[in-house]
Structure 1
Amino acid sequence: MRLWFERLIEQFKFVEDETTARRVLHELTRQAGFDQFAYARVQDNTLSVISDYHQAWQERYFKKGYLAVDPVMVGIRHRRQAFAWSNKPAGRTGRQTPESRARQLFFEEADGFGIRSGVSIPVAAGFGNTAVLTLASHDSDYAERWVVDPVIAASAVGHICARLDTTAMTTRPIRPVKLSTNELTCLRWATEGKSLKVIAILENTTYANVRYFLRNAKRELNAQTLTQAGKIATQLRLL
């Protein structure tokens, strides 16, 4: 698979947008014998994705909160090297824990979309972020047949990450975000550099109300500052 990763690096030298990235990854994924791919950049509060997974699966994945049980996303919390995974039961099958049951349900649904095994390569993406490339197969045994050189694999995914770092990718919240109109309005004014006192005048409300709306917005977006809240809301295209 070393030659495949070298080809990936070469072709990504010419990638400048999400559309080209998706096409290159789609073609190379099939050349490797896999069926689907997903590239994700994981931040504290958001997940930016380029993938050719079925759209219905992508929507279901986020709606049902599968990010918390997906073996790939769980796996990258503890490792920084390529690993294979499969929907085949591992070890003895005894009494199920809530975690193992959730994982089983995840794989049962993924199976319906042809996702049964895969290879995932996570790399550190700077500032606490992680990037991961996953190649998925409809064959439960396919991924384990591949021998992946961890050095060239990490180099290739790092190259993808660098090329796409300034690209506007489809971004989703790690968890559902609900902001009221008042919260969004005050946050938008704050991103324009307006003080709380000025926002209160512009919106014909009280200083206390503005502070309340912005505090709620920060909490909902899991942000420590208004600057961070504005950045997250912008990434999610809420503003």
Structure 2
Amino acid sequence: MNVAIAHIRERYHFAHLVFLVVRPPNRAHAYPFYCTTYPEEWTTLYLRKNYFEIDPVMELSRTGFLPVDWSSLDRRSPGTRDFFKEAASFDIGRHGLTVPIRGPSGERSLFSVTSNLPTPEWRKLGVSSRYDLQILSHCLHEKVLSVSGLRQSGGYRKLSRREQECLQLLASGVNSKRIAARLQISENAVRLYLKLAKRKLNATTTYQAIARASFLEIIQT
């Protein structure tokens, strides 16, 4: 996993990445697995001081599915301001973006990237990489839960040819309208095939379905 996140960091020129399983499936205890490119000194300090309790990024695991830029986080409390000042002293990155991931068995993870780019360039990078990061976050989620033993893989129903085709095209960045034209079917049919694919893969979101299908080598990403 550390090799994978290091490769992602280099590919997109991020400062740092971190992946954290906030809650594993069907288990009550938290934070069983994480991997990061942060300096070891900062990670050790974060764990020792239990900054999980004050880090506003942690709240994102309970609020939705979409990526959140750290500029929108609430930093008004003195504790939060001090936390970010301390993080800055370890050069973790001036900017950040976090993708929350929720699984069908209640599992939750967070995938965060940081950058030291000037604000205008960071905004461009965030826009250009957001779709990729949503897919990558779910791929990492699937891989981590499988190799760590936190969830057993398998048991998914086989996708039909149309379901697989629609999911493959969507993973390639083709929207529903263009998928319909390419496959010569209606947009409603495309939406139905994608809905069935999600159900068969036991996925909560389309991004999760793409990641799971990729992990199972049903589609290519």
Q: Distance in 1 between matches of 2:129 and 2:15?
A: 21
Determine whether 1:102 maps to 2:79: yes
List aligned pairs for 1:122-137, cutoff 5 A: 122-137=100-115
Deviation of the 1:82 alpha carbon: 0.7
SS at match of 2:65: coil
Partner of 2:34: 49
Partner of 1:18: none
Kindly state the Cα deviation for residue 133 of structure 1 after the two structures are TM-superposed.
1.1
Does the 8 A contact of 2:9 with 2:16 survive in 1? yes
User: Offset of 1:144 from its aligned partner?
Assistant: 3.3
| Distance change (3 Å), C-alpha of 1:22 and 1:103 | same
RMSD of aligned alpha carbons: 2.7
- Note if 1:77 corresponds to 2:57: no
Identity of aligned residues (%): 19
**TM-score, normalisation: structure 1:** 0.52
1:65 to 2:42 alignment: no
1:162 aligns with 2:129: no
Contact 2:60–2:100 (Cα < 8 Å) also in 1:
no
Output one character per residue of 1:130-152: Cα deviation in whole Å (capped at 9) or x when no partner: 12211112347354332167665
2:187 alignment counterpart:
none
Q: Distance in 2 between matches of 1:149 and 1:139?
A: 14
Distance between the aligned counterparts of 2:52 and 2:64, measured in 1? 17
Task: Give the superposition deviation at 1:155.
Answer: 3.0
Return 5+ residue gaps in structure 2 as ranges.
150-221
Q: What does 1:139-154 correspond to in 2, within 5 Å? A: 139=117, 141=119, 143-145=122-124, 146-147=126-127, 152-154=132-134
Q: Confirm or deny: 8 A CA contact 1:123 1:157 kept in the other structure.
A: yes
Would the alpha carbon gap of residues 149 and 38 (structure 1) be closer, same or farther in structure 2, given more than 3 Å must change? closer
User: Residue type of the partner of 2:79?
Assistant: A
Please tell me the residue identity of whatever aligns with 1:84: D
- In 2, Cα distance between the equivalents of 1:53 and 1:149? 20
Could you tell me how far apart the structure 2 residues matched to 1:110 and 1:135 are?
A: 14
Distance 1:76 1:140, change over 3 A: farther
Q: Report which structure shows greater RCO (CA 8 Å, sep ≥6).
A: 1
| Residues 85, 144 of structure 1: 8 Å contact kept | no
8 Å CA contact retained: 1:118, 1:143 = no
Larger Cα-atom Rg: 1
Matched residue SS, 2:127: coil
Q: TM-score, normalised by structure 2?
A: 0.56
Whole-angstrom distance in 2 between the partners of 1:149 and 1:34: 11
* Structure 1 residue 36 displacement after superposition: 0.9
CA shift digits 1:97-151 (9 cap, x unpaired):
xxx1111011011001112211111111332221221111234735433216766
Distance 1:34 1:110, change over 3 A: same
Q: For structure 1, list consecutive stretches of 5 or more residues without a partner in the other structure.
A: 1-20, 91-95, 170-239
Determine helix, strand or coil for the equivalent of 1:131. strand
